[in-house]
């Protein structure tokens, strides 16, 4: 398994710095939502993007765009490289991006608006890497170019009030789940306790998590624990037993079983190969 990305746990963009560029290889993002617009530029390889209406196969040179609080995920099909760009639109703009959805998330070369968004995205990535004098001005220029292109060039529709209400509710639930896991992943966590934190029944909670992430809460929690464990294996010399216990696994046997299930190798071999690659 390639590196998993739990996007909600990354440093989020702010009103003072309303943009972020993430260069990525072999992208695998678990289903998630966030308050920023996201532009995914696939530079090489092939990726499956999961949207609210189905799956999209992306190839090198393709773009995918997601509006605020729109469920999406990525799964690598081949070795790939991508830029993930996130933009937080300021309030008071002519278009409230949180209230729209694009008719098509995927933009292909030749599509209306493609060239402008692709060029602006690559310029943002270049500026982010160099951080030359005037970097902030340049980043906001290209960010606004993307926002203007969405506003004028792309086809979209407005969410109905009941749809927006549902989206707001599930956004709150998923953020609560993410915050809870980030705080308590190393502790014993039960479905009852997290459902109570979200003020809903465990049955409704389990259904929502499955819908939002594409997996059960237990699998989501396990993958987060394993992701933390792989970081420790790569970056520290702590014993495997210590890593397993500190990342929330009940015993070493359970840790080994889950590690082999998802990574197709043992923790010790993972540590060895990750340090030699």
Residue 114 lies in a domain: yes
Residue 227 lies in a domain: yes
Residues 225 and 148 grouped into a single domain: no
Residues 220 and 119 grouped into a single domain: no
Nearest residue to 61 via CA among 108, 29, 104, 23: 108
Residues 143 and 185 grouped into a single domain: no
Q: For all residues of the chain together, what is the average pLDDT? A: 91
- The count of C-alpha atoms lying within 13 angstroms of the C-alpha of 176, restricted to the half-sphere facing its C-beta, is 17
Q: Which of 98, 126, 158 delimits the end of a domain?
A: 158
Q: Which of 158, 182, 208 delimits the end of a domain?
A: 158
With a pLDDT cut of 90, the percent of the chain lying above it is 70
Residues 149 and 208 grouped into a single domain: no
Cα dist. 69→94, 171, 197 in Å? 19, 6, 21
Contacts of 168 (CB under 8 A, 6+ apart): 69
- Return the higher-pLDDT residue of 39 and 170: 39
pLDDT higher than 80, residue 185: yes
- Our count of domains for the chain comes to 2
Contacts of 55 (CB under 8 A, 6+ apart): 48, 49
Alpha-helix residue ranges (DSSP H) falling in 86-216: 114-130, 135-153, 161-184, 191-197, 202-213
pLDDT of residue 2: 63
Residue 1 lies in a domain: no
**Residue 37 sits in a domain of what CATH number?**
2.60.120.10
Residues 146 and 233 grouped into a single domain: no
Taking only the tens place, the pLDDT of each residue in 5-39 is 665 445 568 888 999 999 999 998 888 888 899 99
Residue 2 lies in a domain: no
Query: What is the distance between the alpha carbons of residues 134 and 131, in angstroms, rounded to a whole number?
Result: 8
What's the rounded mean pLDDT across residues 140-160?
97
Nearest residue to 240 via CA among 221, 223, 260, 220: 260
Residue 148 lies in a domain: yes
Q: Which domain holds residue 166?
A: 162-276
29-32 sheet: strands from edge to edge = 29-32, 72-76, 46-50, 55-59
Contacts of 26 (CB under 8 A, 6+ apart): 2, 3, 45, 76, 79, 80
pLDDT of residue 90: 87
Residues 121 and 177 grouped into a single domain: no
Q: Which of 82-96, 134-148, 165-179 has the lowest mean pLDDT?
A: 165-179
Residues 170 and 147 grouped into a single domain: no
pLDDT higher than 90, residue 245: yes
**Residue 262 sits in a domain of what CATH number?**
1.10.10.60
pTM of the complete model? 0.83
Q: Show the tokens assigned to 245.
A: 């216990």
pLDDT of residue 9: 43
What's the rounded mean pLDDT across residues 187-216?
89
pLDDT of residue 277: 63
Q: Which of 158, 191, 225 delimits the end of a domain?
A: 158
Residues 57 and 193 grouped into a single domain: no
With a pLDDT cut of 70, the percent of the chain lying above it is 95
Other residues' Cβ atoms within 10 Å of the Cβ of residue 32: 21
**42 - beta bridge partners?**
82
pLDDT of residue 175: 84
Residue 185 lies in a domain: yes
Query: What is the distance between the alpha carbons of residues 276 and 54, in angstroms, rounded to a whole number?
Result: 38
Residues 101 and 184 grouped into a single domain: no
Phi then psi dihedrals of residue 46, to 5 deg: -135, 145
pLDDT of residue 222: 94
Nearest residue to 116 via CA among 49, 47, 41: 41
Query: What is the distance between the alpha carbons of residues 85 and 248, in angstroms, rounded to a whole number?
Result: 32
């Amino acid at each position: 398994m390639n590196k998993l990305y739990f996007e909600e746990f990354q440093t989020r963009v702010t009103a003072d710095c309303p943009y972020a560029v993430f260069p990525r290889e072999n992208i695998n993002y678990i289903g998630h939502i966030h308050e920023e617009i996201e532009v995914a530029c696939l530079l090489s390889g092939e990726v499956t993007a999961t949207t609210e209406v189905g799956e999209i196969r992306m190839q090198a040179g393709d773009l995918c765009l997601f509006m605020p609080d729109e469920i999406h995920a990525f799964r690598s099909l081949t070795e790939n490289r991508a830029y993930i760009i996130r933009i937080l639109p300021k309030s008071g703009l002519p278009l409230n991006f949180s209230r729209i959805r694009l008719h098509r998330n995927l933009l292909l070369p030749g599509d209306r608006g493609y060239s402008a968004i692709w060029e602006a995205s690559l310029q943002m990535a270049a500026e982010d890497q160099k951080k030359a004098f005037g970097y902030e001005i340049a980043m906001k220029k290209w960010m606004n170019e993307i926002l203007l292109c969405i506003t004028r060039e792309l086809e979209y529709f407005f969410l109905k009030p009941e749809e927006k209400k549902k989206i707001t509710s599930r956004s709150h639930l998923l953020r609560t789940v993410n915050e809870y896991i980030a705080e308590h992943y190393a502790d014993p966590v039960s479905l009852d306790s997290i459902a109570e934190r979200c003020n809903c029944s465990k049955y409704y909670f389990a259904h929502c998590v499955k819908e939002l992430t594409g997996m059960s809460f237990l699998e989501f929690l396990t993958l987060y624990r394993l992701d933390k464990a792989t970081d420790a294996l790569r970056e520290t010399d702590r014993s495997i037993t210590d890593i397993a216990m500190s990342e929330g696994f009940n015993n070493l046997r359970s840790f080994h079983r889950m590690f082999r299930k998802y990574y197709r190798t043992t923790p010790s071999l993972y540590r060895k190969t990750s340090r030699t690659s």
